[in-house]
Amino acid sequence: MNRGLWWLLWWLLCWPLAAGAADDTLTTVMQRLAEVKTVEAHFQEEKNLAMLQQPLHSSGELYYRAPAYLRKRTLQPQPEDYTVDGDWLTVEMADGGRRDLALSGHPQIQPFVEAMRATQAGDRATLERFYQVDCAGDAAHWQLRLTPRDPMATRYLTAIVIQGRHGWIDRIETLEADGDRSLMTVTPR
């Protein structure tokens, strides 16, 4: 039997085992994240936009309270506050402007919110409703690659890559369809 045929046979036999291991890892990661009821963290974010020569940097605080409260409070370079509570997103800007949006009425926003919130909640069903979820690594050091299921979302978003350890999210990288990307690193408070 030639070498190529051996590799094909090996791959066909081992692929279900690898897929099963990834599914087991995803199940364990989701369980560990679901055990975390509150998070208070610092974040640093770097956004690389095609239209700018230098990346944009911001920093602030993240808060999560199970099962559906998520807040991103940017402190630098200017204050901004994004709070999701249930189906509502509240945006507060430095100039005092405020907007309240129902997520169900804004299908272009909801996948971004659920990438973070459903992951932190360990809510695999919600995550898989919005994304194809690919898991790599093991429960101690894992990576989730979230690829949007909705064709409308793929016009804006290529993927979100979330990395973590045990029940903690360390990094969130957002890859947009136009080539822009952002990388958020998260550290405990």
Give the CATH number for residue 61: 2.50.20.10
Any domain includes 179: yes
Token readout for 31 is: 């369980």
Any domain includes 164: yes
Any domain includes 12: no
Residues of the chain falling short of pLDDT 70: 1-22
Domain range for 46: 19-188
Q: What's the confidence (pLDDT) of residue 19?
A: 47
> What amino acid is encoded at 113 in this protein?
V
Q: What's the confidence (pLDDT) of residue 22?
A: 61
Any domain includes 7: no
Any domain includes 169: yes
Any domain includes 95: yes
Q: What's the confidence (pLDDT) of residue 109?
A: 86
Q: What's the confidence (pLDDT) of residue 183?
A: 97
CA–CA distances in Å: residue 153 to residues 45, 121, 149 = 22, 22, 8
How many domains, in total, are found in the chain? Answer: 1
Q: What's the confidence (pLDDT) of residue 115?
A: 94
Any domain includes 114: yes
Q: What's the confidence (pLDDT) of residue 23?
A: 82
Closest to 68 measured CA to CA, from 90, 42, 88, 43: 88
Angle subtended at Cα 174 by Cα 152 and Cα 114, rounded to the nearest 5 degrees: 60
